[in-house]
Amino acid sequence: MSDTERQKPALLGKVIARAWRDPAFKAKLAADPKAVLKEAGVTFPADVTVRVVEDTATHFHLVLPPKPTGALSEEALDHVAGGACYRGQSQVLHCSKDDGVTGHYNG
């Protein structure tokens, strides 16, 4: 895994935190997510589409990651079945007071 890939969850967490506290940034992110993410240091291949969706009190989005190729080990299956990162993937876990986020999340 490259350094960029390792940094991606933290960078996405910062984008999420900023969207929570800055309505104008959130609107810009919704309108052109790929450009906003690129400015934040997160890039995607040209053929990848990026879409922003928002969970609310009455709407939950289940994100299905790409199916792994090949067979999964028992350990890998346990991790997937354990659901280590649901809402918003693991990015939300990287938001902190340093990002301007206070309080807690009841997801």
Q: How far apart, in Å, are the Cα atoms of 3 and each of 26, 35, 42?
A: 27, 21, 12
Higher pLDDT, 87 or 16: 16
Q: For the chain, how many structural domains are there in total? A: 1
- Which residues have CB under 8 Å from 25's CB, separation 6+? 18, 19, 36
The answer to whether residue 101 is domain-embedded is no
Are 53 and 30 a contacting pair, CB within 8 Å?
no
Residue 4: pLDDT band by 50, 70, 90 thresholds?
confident
- pLDDT (0 to 100) of residue 101: 54
CB-count exposure of residue 12 (10 Å: 0-12, 13-18, 19+): buried
* Range of the structural domain that residue 11 is part of: 3-95
Are 94 and 13 a contacting pair, CB within 8 Å?
yes
The answer to whether residue 102 is domain-embedded is no
Residue 81 has pLDDT above 90, yes or no: no
- Within the chain, how many helices (H) and strands (E) appear? 4, 0
Residue 90 has pLDDT above 70, yes or no: no
User: Mean per-residue pLDDT for 71-92?
Assistant: 55
The answer to whether residue 63 is domain-embedded is yes
- The residue length of the chain stands at 107
The answer to whether residue 106 is domain-embedded is no
Tens digits of residue pLDDT in 34-68: 999 999 999 999 999 999 999 999 999 998 888 87
